[in-house]
Amino acid sequence: MQNHTPQHEEKQHNHDYGYDSAHPGYEPQAAAVSVDQAGLASYLAKVFGWMFLGLFLTAATSYIVLGNGDIFYSIRPWVFYLMIAELGLVWFLASRVHTMSATTCTISFFVYSFLNGLTIAPILASYTPTSVASVFMITAGTFGLMAVYGLTTKKDLTSMGSILLMGLVGLILAMVVNIFMASGMLSLIISCIAVFIFVGLTAYDAQKIKEQYITGMEYSEAGHKIAIIGALMLYLDFVNLFLHLLNLLGSRD
């Protein structure tokens, strides 16, 4: 646990995740002090609880879209614009989290999760339901292991995170180039690299979420907003890891 004044300043940084959006987070604090373990556990439960609710909304939205042909075909022409809306919404969350209310922050997170369900549905339609389910289980297991590692390791993952962020910039550039090249081989290479990056970022972000905890923040409005941003960080790690694993392991329908 690290030292904070009562007027704790929330700091932010952004990760651009290519498919989804920017990835907002918070910088670590400075000095180590004792931690309220019960409060920390409650706070982490809230962060992961919000993340799971966001994932559930995304999955439910995609399921409904895939099960209704009229909705599916009416959405497809708008996917690009929906993705732009997602980027704008995450930017709004990252830049206005200090000033917006906890309710607005929560609603924005769920609107983003809903929009992501709409944009993911056409991708899932390209794969067999069995392979989607299998890759989801693989993603859940991998994500869980790395999140636990990030929360329990004594090693400072800051330097690893810096390297991963630099790699992420290169990954995004490669993805942009491949939009024009439409190379299947390059797409597989990108997904291989992306899997390693998002696996590492899962541990990195989990550790940062733990480090930002301040005693009592699980009950405060500011703490609620930071928990939502933390949930968004982990949500983006999970979704991007899932999509790239699906590209590598999924069976085309």
Tens digit of pLDDT for each residue in 103-125?
A: 999 999 999 999 999 999 999 99
DSSP-derived pairing of the beta strands 22-25 and 13-16: antiparallel
Average model confidence (pLDDT) across the chain = 84
Q: Domain residues of the chain, as ranges?
A: 36-249
- 31-51: per-residue pLDDT in tens? 445 667 888 999 999 999 999
Specify the range with the lowest mean pLDDT, choosing from 24-28, 76-80, 111-115, 146-150.
24-28
What's the pLDDT score for residue 207? 95
Sort 247 into a burial class: Cβ within 10 Å, 0-12 / 13-18 / 19+: buried
Beta-carbon contacts of residue 95 (< 8 Å; ≥ 6 apart): 12
What's the pLDDT score for residue 19? 37
What's the pLDDT score for residue 33? 52
With 90 as the cut, is the pLDDT of residue 216 above it?
Answer: no
pTM exceeds 0.85: no
Measured distance CA(188)–CA(244) in Å, rounded: 9
Measured distance CA(225)–CA(86) in Å, rounded: 19
Q: Residue 16: beta bridge partners?
A: 22
Q: Residue 15: beta bridge partners?
A: 23
Measured distance CA(204)–CA(1) in Å, rounded: 16
With 90 as the cut, is the pLDDT of residue 26 above it?
Answer: no
